[in-house]
Amino acid sequence: MKSFSFIFALLSLPFCIANTQDAVHKQLVELAVAGNGVIKLDPKSFDLITSPKRNWSAAIQLTALDKRRRCLPCNDFDPSFNAVAKAWATTSKKNRDNHFFATLDFDDGQVVFQKLGLTSAPVVQVYPAVEGPRAPANGKVAPIPYDFSSGYEASTLAEAMSRYTPVVIPYSDPIDWARYSTFAAGLLAFTVMLRFIAPILQSRWTWATISIGLSLIMTSGYMFVRIRGSPYAAQDGSWIAGGYQNQYGQEVSVIAFIYGLLAFAFLMLIMVIPYQMSPNRQRLQVYLWTGVIMIIYSILISIFRVKNRGYPFKLFL
Amino acid sequence: MPNRWRTIPFLLSFIIQSLAAPQSFENTAIVRSVELGGVAVHVTTTFAIKALEPGAKVYTIALGRQEKEKTSWFEVKVKGQQNPLLISEHPYAYESTRNYHLVDVTLPRPLTANGTLNIVLEAVQTHATTPWPTTASQKEDQALKFTADLLVLSPYHTLVQRTKLKALTPRLISFTIPKEVQDFMPDTPASKSGATVTYGPFNDIPPSANENFIAAYQQPVTIHYFHEQPVLEILKLTRSAEISHWGANLNIQDDIQLHNAGPALKGHFSRLDHQSQAFYKKPAPHALPALTLHLPSGIRNAYYYDLIGNVSTSRLRVAPSPPKNSKTKQYSVLELRPRYPIMGGWNYTFTLGWDAPLADSANWDHATGKYMVEIPIMTPITGAVVNNAEVKIILPEGATDVEFTPPFSALENRVSTHVTYLDTTGRPTLTFEYKDLTVMHAQSIFVSYKVSLSAHLKKPVAVATAFFSLFAFALLGRRINLTIHKNKVL
Amino acid sequence: MPEAYPLPSNLSSATVTNTASLLRIVTLALISGAAIASRLFAVINFESIIHEFDPWFNYRATRVLATKGFYEFWNWFDPTAWYPLGRVVGGTVYPGLMATSGVIYNLLHALNLPVDIRNVCVLLAPGFSALTAWATYMFTKEMKDPSAGLLAAAFIGIVPGYISRSVAGSYDNEAIAIFLLMFTFYCWIKALKQGSALFGTVAAVFYFYMVAAWGGYVFITNMIPLHALVLILMGRFSNRLYAAYSSWYAIGTLASMQVPFVGFQPVKTSEHMAALAVFGLLQIVAFAQLVRSHVSSQQFQKLLFIGVVAIGILGAAAFGIMTLKGWIAPWTGRFYSLWDTGYAKKYIPIIASVSEHQPTAWPSFFMDLQFLIFLFPAGVVVCFRQLRDEHLFVIIYAVMASYFAGVMVRLMLTLTPVVCVASAVALSTLLDTYIDPTEPEINDDTVSESGASTASAPAPGANGTSHPTTPKKTKKAVPPPQSTSALGQIIAASRSSNNKPRPKGIFGADTRLMVVFNAMCLLAFFVFHCTWVTSSAYSSPSVVLASTNPDGSQHIIDDFREAYYWLRQNTQEDSVVLSWWDYGYQIAGMADRPTLVDNNTWNNTHIATVGKVMASSEEVAYPILRKHDVQYILVIFGGLLGYSGDDINKFLWMVRIAQGIWPDEVQEPSFFTPRGEYKVDDQASPTMRNSMMYKMSYYRFAELFGGNAATDRVRQQQLPKVGPTLDYVDEAFTSENWIVRIYEVKKEDPLGRDHKSANAFSQGKKRKRTKPAQRRRAIL
């Protein structure tokens, strides 16, 4: 008897598996439609979607959106993931149902995180199809992690995901109306104001200030901060970054100010003081600005010595 | 070096004599001792000769065929005396078919009947040894094979002769036991004691410098021994010596192609093994980490570089230049480290040069108004052989009636002109070419020449003219106004 | 007329001028001497050797040029580079540098001065720096006066920002480019001031030289049009501008198209379109001016104005369309990444990976320019004070260059000259003001005409080198533009010498002394700074490393040349060497062997192939190696010595670049530990530990330490006791300090086994059993 049932089970095994696979697939499709493109997962459905006999592929975002988790990148990334999924949902049905986008939140499925041994979020893993026509030729079915090194933008994500979907994800960046409108408004305002601000525009000193400002900001490492995205100041509040090849945002302002002050001192000596017609006040100013130059300069040197420890020279302090 | 035996005419008479009386001598004893080495092997043969008739003045020495081919240098002396004896080709010497080769030696004075004399033949054989096995890994030893003839040939009757092969270490691998020599000696023909293998003594041997004796008795003996120094060859040595009177300077520059002719490195070079060997003071015998050179004393700004720039890993200790005509010879010692240790079969090319004060090697003869300069042919590297050498002597510009006396004649020598810094006409240049130089060849070429005052002054005058014309040009350029009309734009 | 200190009054003006010119010549000579001398630290500390990487290629090419002649060089196909592709060198280099040193070499040999070509190459940069100083002097003289020119020359002569790329031995295009840059600008300014087509043509000729010498010529190509455009917008259009620009553009563009490497770019790529557009605009404006001068009716002029604007807009539209159509190539990556700063990292990692393409932090600005960095804004303002056309040029240049320098470290080079010029203008104005001995009288009513004239008369005689700038100003046709602010009016008044000047001057000697002394201190400090920076930071040829022995003496670490020379002496002529592209040029130059990739990174795929070889396991790499018939692999390993610039530190870039081509075979994350760290110790990820790079770097490294734990001095990590094993390659050579390690790729096994099982067989069963286990771990 026991043996008979065993044989029966053995016989019926393939059918039921096939059935279950179809059922699971149908279920997933519904879920996807429900959550317009994104399937909200829990441990159970996670096992379903990553079942070792899947004939579909899936891109799963493992994240921790809850405020208490204080995962800023998760919240930064989530919208782009959803956007891409939404774009995918617009493709034709037969393509769409071969690939799923799903999200598993840490609070819903800690077990999964432990099982995958994940210590950080967000993580996007692509599970290629195991069976069926879309199983990869090289037979690599291990989940492929998405590389965040190129940022959290939706466009890059869509580009990367398109390698695993049957057709390219029809994603295009939303037009940034706000920016354009502000630009247009600015332009309009400018044209309107033109006749009023014309004298200012024609004054060379406006332009002088602009160009000086620009070069001061640039020469104090503004572009470095922008490109490297280095913070305004360190967590511990120290505003000056150790190391010769590194700097914080705050240094830009400080250094620019110092440079500006020194340049201004020289300008006073060159352009203003000679026209000061009372000897004593002139003498006073000369001494004042010379002193300013000496002191500020030595401050600058001392800051530089902090950045570049090997620097042998120093001024008064 | 075949031309080593160029005939010198006035000796012909003696040759006739020696032909007339082939048996004018008898060898009471011949002892040949071979000091086994790397590429160069020293062979010292002592003949104790006895004149059988009065007035015998020319003694003939026979060399085997291979022996002659390998020998790159030899000289004959009376035992205990310094100056070598005149040697000359025996007539009909050049018959390639013959298995032996004859050389005539002119004795200092004719011997009386039964008068005896000990003469010593010193020879250096190059490329006489072959590494065996031909490859050795970094940790293995290096072993060489040397082959020589068993018997010393001689046109005269010999009472007793023996041959000694001396290795540097007592660790010999094998040596040949000769056969078929019973009629010269009853008991064992070869015996080993320490690092020395002795063949003989072989007793009364008939005149052996003839084909049928050689066919009958001569046979090669081979010794296989360990050698603990690297086997070095200098494939090509190009030395250029430039004499400058204005700088009172003799610049000598050697371009050297060094090659380790020992067993080729088996497998690959492992720095780890090399460093551990150095650490345990057991360096591989066929690896050359560094070599020491003896440069002349009192040299200035020596330089050592190769194709890709200066080599910083070397040390030089300069000895002060000696006072004139002082006998004591001092050397500046250069410890020269190649960029990498030279393992078996590896090559390394480099350039080595230095400036020496001209006064050390030149002097001026008031009587003839000629300069006499001494140029060393090579810097001896112990145990190394220079396969090809080219020595170039660049005389000062405008040197006239040049004469030179080489210590031994070159394969080829020619005169050309060489143009270098601030030259107008170029400098006369002598070039000598040699093969297979050994330590024994480290001698000097003497060159004498005249330089007139005008030739001396040529250089400064040329430079002065150049500068002056430059200034004159600038002067004119500044003065002349080339504008056609006054510029009225702006 | 009070004076702060007495002046010699018995000097004839002729004497003064002659002395001044003599002093000027002597000073320039001294400055050139200083410029050259301060660049010789490298030669004195080390030797006369070519530095770094790219110079080695230039040196090699120059040798070909010098030995085989220009024709041979021109169509030189180098089969040893980019094996097996080869490289058409003649068409893919800027030949200016090689041609220059070739000419110098032949000239010297014609004069019986047999200088080694290497020394010519090594000393080219210092020599040209002297010329740069001279060109800067000429340029600044146009801006202010000879005294400012001398200051500028002195600055550019010793400022580290320029020395960094022109020390003896750094034989690179920049060596001559900066001189050409400055001289082209000088000719442009001269042409603009005089409206002379001659100087325009000279500018064009030097522009051509620049195009032939350096890719940075694009800077000139956009700088001059920008200047012209701004002039037009400010309503300063003049026939001088027209003549200068037209002659420069027409001849310069035609000439630049003669350089094969540039070809038709000047008319096809966006970098050059600005120049073309301005040229067109100039024609239109000129035409408009012409018509306007003849016609007088208002309506017509309005019409004309509208027409001009319309044509301009049309032209812009046409340009846009052509770009979209693709008739005009869009900006090249390197150039584009200047504007969109994130671009390179995302799309062209090779460009991003180069260290000199990184953005600049402020310390490097200060390091390279010291007090000039805050003096030059002052100089720019001074330029604003009397806003002549050439001053505009300096202003635009300053702003643009400071942006570029901020984006890319290497573009500090283009900023340096303008900084020197501007701060020289500022400083010399300061000195003029405070050395001039005349003191103004204190009286309320304005000074009489005569007083003013006498006040300004003795000034030139007073300080030897300063000439009166008044004649130039009177010659200038530009009227002082109206300015609104008070300061502006003051200065406008003070500029024009015909109406009454507001009295100016300094009272007392102590104030003068104070300021001058202060300036002198700044200058002295600057000299010390420059000397220190040059000697310590910029004078090491990265081919030879220097360390100091315990006793303080210098110890040379020469591993690179040791290994390269070994390759050169003891391998076959044609054995192909695989290494990361940084070392391609050095191997070609010093080891004289074919290389797969080298420093002109024109073929991303080929580089990615090398990256893949390094990043993947032996089994994967071996077929690739055999296909490219690689015989030797060369890796740089600093772990023993603590040399941080080694391949393990560059490894991630190799992985990234390989990943760009084979995304599913090489993946960057798999080289990190699960915790996302980059480790080489026993926590290193299996992929890392099986990669060729890791294995070849640490092969038998642990054994060196005997029983003790092996430490990597760069990464400061403990390595596992049992080091990696190699099956498909043999260690061929390792340099003294293990910095360079060369491996030989095995031939196929004669019995047709794969090398792993062959090794396992030859080393007995033990290995054989353990091996597959490791293998499985590796793949998973």
Q: Is C76 helix (H, G, I), strand (E, B) or coil?
A: coil
Q: What is each CA distance from A223 to A260, C339, C360, C370, in whole angstroms?
A: 18, 11, 7, 19
Given a cut of 90, is residue C254 above it in pLDDT?
Answer: yes
The verdict on B309 touching C (C-beta cutoff 8 Å) is yes
Count of H helices and E strands in chain A? 11, 5
pLDDT at residue C1 in the model = 55
The verdict on A308 touching C (C-beta cutoff 8 Å) is yes
Do the beta carbons of residue C560 and residue C739 sit within 8 Å? yes
CB pairs under 8 A between B and C: 85
Mean pLDDT of chain C: 84
Residues pairing with B101 in the sheet: B63
> B432 falls in which pLDDT band (50, 70, 90)?
very high
Given a cut of 60, is residue C47 above it in pLDDT?
Answer: yes
Q: What is each CA distance from B262 to B38, B275, B458, B478, C624, in whole angstroms?
A: 8, 20, 52, 70, 36
Write down how long chain A is: 317
Q: List the one residue out of C645, C632, C625 whose CA is nearest residue C594.
A: C632
> A117 falls in which pLDDT band (50, 70, 90)?
confident
Q: Minimum mean pLDDT among B281-285, B364-368, B448-452, C239-243: which range?
A: B281-285
Q: What is each CA distance from A302 to A271, C42, C363, in whole angstroms?
A: 29, 29, 12
Q: What percentage of chain A reaches a pLDDT higher than 90? A: 18
Domains of chain C: 558-761 (3.40.50.12610)
pLDDT at residue C346 in the model = 64
pLDDT at residue B447 in the model = 94
> B92 falls in which pLDDT band (50, 70, 90)?
low
pLDDT at residue A279 in the model = 86
Q: Maximum CA pair distance of chain C?
A: 111
The verdict on A245 touching C (C-beta cutoff 8 Å) is yes
Given a cut of 90, is residue A265 above it in pLDDT?
Answer: yes
pLDDT at residue B324 in the model = 66
pLDDT at residue C477 in the model = 38
Given a cut of 70, is residue B19 above it in pLDDT?
Answer: no
pLDDT at residue C777 in the model = 40
Reported as type and span, the H/E element at residue C744 is strand C740-745
Q: Minimum mean pLDDT among A132-141, B444-453, C481-490: which range?
A: C481-490
Name the residue with higher pLDDT: A87 or C202.
Answer: C202
Given a cut of 60, is residue B474 above it in pLDDT?
Answer: yes
The verdict on C380 touching A (C-beta cutoff 8 Å) is yes
Count CB neighbours of A194 within 10 A: 10
Given a cut of 80, is residue A5 above it in pLDDT?
Answer: no
Q: Is B8 helix (H, G, I), strand (E, B) or coil?
A: coil
Q: Minimum mean pLDDT among B302-316, C278-292, C461-475, C729-743: which range?
A: C461-475
DSSP C408-433: -GGGHHHHHHHHHHHHHHHHHHHHHH
Given a cut of 80, is residue A85 above it in pLDDT?
Answer: yes
* pLDDT tens track for C533-549: 998 888 888 888 888 77
pLDDT at residue C758 in the model = 81
Instruction: Report how far Cα C262 is from the mean position of its chain's Cα atoms.
Output: 19
Q: What is the spatial distance between Cα C726 and Cα B137, in angstroms, rounded to a whole number?
A: 19
- Please give the CATH topology (third level) of the domain spanning B3-226: Immunoglobulin-like (2.60.40)
Interface test with C, best of A144, A259, A266, A307 (most C CBs within 10 A): A266
| Average pLDDT, integer, range B325-342 | 83
Q: Tell me whether residues C378 and A219 touch, CB distance under 8 A.
A: no
* pLDDT tens track for B266-293: 878 888 888 888 888 778 888 888 888 8
Q: What is each CA distance from A12 to A24, A54, C705, in whole angstroms?
A: 18, 19, 63
Query: Quick one: tokens of C367?
Result: 């390091």
Domains of chain A: 2-161 (3.40.30.10), 220-307 (no CATH)
pLDDT at residue B17 in the model = 41
pLDDT at residue C568 in the model = 93
Q: What is the spatial distance between Cα A253 and Cα B103, in angstroms, rounded to a whole number?
A: 97
pLDDT at residue C343 in the model = 66
Residue A259 burial by CB count (10 A; 0-12/13-18/19+): exposed, middle or buried? buried
B272, B346, B487 ranked by CB distance to C570: nearest: B346
| Average pLDDT, integer, range C264-284 | 87
Pairing of strands C630-636, B56-64: unpaired
Q: Which residues contact C357 (CB under 8 A, 6 or more apart)?
A: C337, C344, C351, C408, C409, C410
Q: What is the spatial distance between Cα C214 and Cα C201, in angstroms, rounded to a whole number?
A: 20
Q: Minimum mean pLDDT among A109-123, A242-256, B45-59, B294-308: which range?
A: A109-123
Residues pairing with B42 in the sheet: B35, B124
Instruction: Report how far Cα B75 is from the mean position of its chain's Cα atoms.
Output: 13
Q: List the one residue out of C457, C459, C411, C452 whose CA is nearest residue C434.
A: C459
Name the residue with higher pLDDT: C268 or C231.
Answer: C231
Helices (H), C111-216: 117-143, 146-158, 160-163, 174-194, 197-213
Q: Minimum mean pLDDT among A145-159, B115-129, B448-462: which range?
A: A145-159
pLDDT at residue C520 in the model = 94
Q: What is the spatial distance between Cα B238 and Cα B254, in angstroms, rounded to a whole number?
A: 5
* pLDDT tens track for C126-169: 999 999 999 999 999 999 999 999 999 999 999 999 999 899 99
Q: What is the spatial distance between Cα C673 and Cα C426, in angstroms, rounded to a whole number?
A: 56
| C window 336-365, beta carbon within 8 A of A | 341-342, 346, 358-365
Give CATH for domain B232-460: 2.60.40.1730
Task: Sketch the domain layout of chain B as residue ranges.
Answer: 3-226, 232-460
| Average pLDDT, integer, range C112-118 | 90
Three-state secondary structure readout of A3-66? HHHHHHHHHHHHHHHHHHHHHHHHHHHHHHHHCCCEEEECHHHHHHHCCCCCCCEEEEEEECCC
List chain B residues with CB under 8 Å of C569. 346-349
Q: List the one residue out of B123, B18, B8 whose CA is nearest residue B77.
A: B123
Q: What is the spatial distance between Cα C196 and Cα C201, in angstroms, rounded to a whole number?
A: 9
Cis peptide before B133 (omega within 30 of 0): yes
Pairing of strands B143-149, B129-131: antiparallel
Q: List the one residue out of C325, C417, C408, C554 whose CA is nearest residue C132.
A: C417
List chain C residues with CB under 8 Å of B267. 730
Given a cut of 90, is residue C391 above it in pLDDT?
Answer: yes
| Average pLDDT, integer, range C401-406 | 91
Q: What is the spatial distance between Cα B397 and Cα B429, in angstroms, rounded to a whole number?
A: 10
Chains B and A touch (3+ CB pairs under 8 A): no
Given a cut of 90, is residue A290 above it in pLDDT?
Answer: yes
Closest-CA residue of C relative to B258 is C569
> C492 falls in which pLDDT band (50, 70, 90)?
very low
Q: What percentage of chain C reaches a pLDDT higher than 70? A: 87
Mean pLDDT of chain B: 84
Residue A314 burial by CB count (10 A; 0-12/13-18/19+): exposed, middle or buried? exposed
Q: What is each CA distance from C629 to C282, C431, C564, in whole angstroms?
A: 58, 68, 20
> B102 falls in which pLDDT band (50, 70, 90)?
confident
> C289 falls in which pLDDT band (50, 70, 90)?
confident
> B352 falls in which pLDDT band (50, 70, 90)?
very high
Q: Minimum mean pLDDT among A143-147, A237-241, B471-475: which range?
A: A143-147
Q: What is the spatial distance between Cα B345 and Cα C36, in angstroms, rounded to a whole number?
A: 45
pLDDT at residue B240 in the model = 94
Query: Quick one: tokens of C84?
Result: 């097996």
Pairing of strands C729-734, A38-41: unpaired
> C335 falls in which pLDDT band (50, 70, 90)?
low
Query: Quick one: tokens of A102?
Result: 């799903």
Query: Quick one: tokens of A207?
Result: 């332009």
> B7 falls in which pLDDT band (50, 70, 90)?
very low
DSSP C25-49: HHHHHHHHHHHHHTT-HHHHHT-S-
Q: Tell me whether residues C566 and B339 touch, CB distance under 8 A.
A: yes
| Average pLDDT, integer, range B31-58 | 88
Q: What is the spatial distance between Cα B56 and Cα B456, in angstroms, rounded to a whole number?
A: 56
Q: Tell me whether residues B346 and C561 touch, CB distance under 8 A.
A: no
Query: How many CA atoms within 13 Å lie on the side-chain side of C520?
Result: 8
Q: Tell me whether residues C734 and B313 touch, CB distance under 8 A.
A: no
Q: What is each CA distance from B385 to A39, B62, B127, B260, B348, in whole angstroms?
A: 85, 25, 8, 11, 15
| Average pLDDT, integer, range B18-33 | 74
- Look up the ipTM and state it: 0.81
Do the beta carbons of residue C185 and residue C556 sit within 8 Å? no
For B358-443, where are the E strands, in sequence order? 362-365, 370-376, 385-394, 399-405, 412-418, 427-437
Given a cut of 50, is residue C473 above it in pLDDT?
Answer: no
pLDDT at residue B15 in the model = 43
Q: Tell me whether residues C346 and A156 touch, CB distance under 8 A.
A: yes
Residues on C contacting B at a C-beta cutoff of 8 Å: 47-49, 112-114, 193-196, 240, 475-477, 544, 556, 558, 561-566, 568-570, 589-590, 700, 703-704, 730-736, 738, 744
Q: Tell me whether residues B489 and C195 touch, CB distance under 8 A.
A: yes
Name the residue with higher pLDDT: B360 or B483.
Answer: B360
Q: Tell me whether residues B421 and C112 touch, CB distance under 8 A.
A: yes
Name the residue with higher pLDDT: B94 or C522.
Answer: C522
pLDDT at residue B235 in the model = 94
List chain A residues with CB under 8 Å of C532. 312-313
Do the beta carbons of residue B332 and residue B318 sit within 8 Å? yes
> C780 falls in which pLDDT band (50, 70, 90)?
very low
Q: List the one residue out of C701, C698, C703, C700 whose CA is nearest residue C684.
A: C698
* pLDDT tens track for B146-188: 988 888 888 888 888 889 999 888 888 888 888 766 677 656 7
What is the per-residue burial (b if ≥16 Cβ within 10 Å, else e) of A224-249? bbbbbebeeeeeeeeeebeebbebbb
Residue indicated by tokens 């006749």: A195
Given a cut of 90, is residue C105 above it in pLDDT?
Answer: yes
Query: Quick one: tokens of A281?
Result: 């006040």
**Subunits close to C (at least 3 CB pairs below 8 A):** A, B
* pLDDT tens track for C550-574: 777 778 888 999 999 999 999 998 9
Cα Rg of chain B, angstroms: 29
Instruction: Give B52's DSSP letter.
Output: S
Given a cut of 80, is residue C354 above it in pLDDT?
Answer: no
Count CB neighbours of B288 within 10 A: 23
pLDDT at residue C491 in the model = 41
Given a cut of 90, is residue B252 above it in pLDDT?
Answer: yes
